[in-house]
Structure 1
Amino acid sequence: MKNNKPKYKKIIDAAVEVIAENGYHSSQVSKIAKRAGVADGTIYLYFKNKEDILVSVFQEKMGQFIERIENVIMENDSADEKLYALIKMHFRQLSEDPHLAIVTQLELRQSKKQLRMEINEVLKRYLAVVDQILKDGMEDGTFHSHLNVKLVRQVIFGTLDEIVTNWVMKEQRYDLVDQAKEVHFVISNGLKKHQT
C-alpha cells in the first residue's frame, strides 16, 4: 500500500508544512517535492495532483487523529469522562501540530466542493465517536434522554472547531489545551440531567 512507503509519509509531512506556510493556492507541487527531498516526478507516483495531496493529507492525518481519540476514549468509563477526553485530545493533537491546525482550520475551507465532500467522508468516523458518547450518556442516564444526537453532535464539533480556528487566527499565542476544562464544563452541563 502506498501510504506505508517512507516517501509517501515524507511528502504528506512536507505538504502540511508548505501549505501551512504558503497557503494551499500558492503551494506548488515543486515546493512540496523540494521540502520532502524528492524529485517533482516522484510526487506523481503517489498523487494525481495537488488536490489529491490535500485530500490525502487530511485522510492520513485525520485518520491518525481519530485513532488516537478512539484509544483515549476507551480508557475512560463514563460518557462524561469520554466527552472530556475527546475535547482535551482534540485540542492537544492540533496544538502539538500547529502546521496541521492551520491546514485543517483555514486551508481546507477554501477548497472546492468535491474536495470538501471527500473530507466530510473522513470526518464521519470522528462524528460517529461523538454520537456514541452521546448515546452512551443518554442510555446510562448521565445525559438527557431526549437529546437530538445529530444536532448536539453539530454543536459539540462546531464549538471545538471554532475554538481551534480562533486559536489559529490569534497566532497560537495561548495554550489551547488549557481551554478543555471550561469547554467541557459548558457542554457537559448543557447535556446532563441534574440530580434533584
Structure 2
Amino acid sequence: MAKRTGEKYDAIIDAAVRVIAEYGYHQSQVSKIAREAKVADGTIYLYFENKDDVLISLFNEKMGAFISDVETALGEVPSAVEQLRELIRLHFEYLESNSQLAIVTQIELRQSNPEVRKQIGLILKKYLNVIDQVIQRGVEQGLFHDDFDPRTARRMIFGTIDETVTSWIMKDCKYSLKDQIEPITKLFLKGIGK
C-alpha cells in the first residue's frame, strides 16, 4: 500500500467528500470517486483497502486536521468560558465553510457499517477529549460548577453542536451556523456556568 500522503491521496480524499455528499455513501462507487479525483480506479487501491477505508481515512484526515486546529486555537485562550465559545465557533465555521463535508460527517458516516462506525468512534474520541479538557479547565478556574457529571456535560455540549449542524443540513443550509454560536454558548453557560 502506498504512503498516505501526496497529491493523489489528497485528491482522492477530497473527491470522496464530494462524491459521497452528492450520491450518498452506498451509491458512491470507488469508480465514481476515482473519476472525480481524476485517477485510475486501481490507483485508489494503492492507498485504500476498500470504500470503507476511504470513508474512515476521509474522517481521520479531516477531523484530525480540525482537532489540531482547535487545540492550537484553544491553547491561545486562557478562559474556559472563551474556550467553549471558541470551540463552538470553530466547529460551526469549519462545517459551514464546507457543506459537503458536513453532509458526509453528519449524515453519511452514520449510515455506514458497524466496523466503520467503530473506527469513526475512535477518531471522534480525540475531539471529545478536547471538550473534556475545556470542562475540566472551567471547573478548575471556578467558572463552571463542579457538581455535575463531566461526561453528561460533554454529551450535552457535543450533542447540541452536532444536532445543530444536522438540523442546518436538513434545512438545506439556509441559515448561518455562525448565528447560532452565541445562543448555544449562553445555553451551555446557564447550565454549567456559575
CA distance in 1, matches of 2:157, 2:20: 27
Query: In 2, distance between residues paired with 1:125 and 1:177?
Result: 23
User: 1:131 aligns to what?
Assistant: 132
Greater alpha carbon shift after TM alignment, 160-169 vs 63-72: 63-72
Partner of residue 65, structure 1: 66
Superposition deviation, residue 75 in structure 1 = 1.6
CA distance in 2 between counterparts of 1:70 and 1:154 reads: 19
* C-alpha displacement of 1:42: 0.3
Q: What code does the residue aligned with 1:168 have?
A: I
Look up the match of 1:104.
Answer: 105
1:163 pairs with 2:178: no
Moved over 3 A (4+): none
How far apart are the structure 2 equivalents of 1:20 and 1:125? 24
Amino acid at match of 1:91: F
Aligned to 2:47: 46
> Post-superposition shift, 1:140?
1.3
- Supply the AA of the counterpart residue of 1:15: A
Q: Distance in 1 between matches of 2:30 and 2:105?
A: 19
Question: In structure 1, the residue corresponding to 2:4 is in which secondary structure?
Answer: helix
Structure 1, unaligned runs of 5 or more = none
2:157 & 2:52 partners in 1: Cα distance? 29
Structure-1 separation of matches of 2:10 and 2:178: 27
Question: How big is the alpha-carbon RMSD for the aligned residues of Structure 1 and Structure 2?
Answer: 0.9
Distance in 1 (alpha carbons) for counterparts of 2:3 and 2:22: 26
Structure 2 residue runs of 5 or longer lacking an equivalent are none
Take 1:89 and 1:187, find their aligned partners in 2: how far apart are those partners?
Answer: 16
Q: TM-score, normalised by structure 2?
A: 0.97
Shift of 1:3: 2.7
Listed one character per residue, the Cα deviations across residues 16-63 of structure 1 (whole Å, up to 9, x for unaligned) are 000000000000100000000000000000000001100010000000
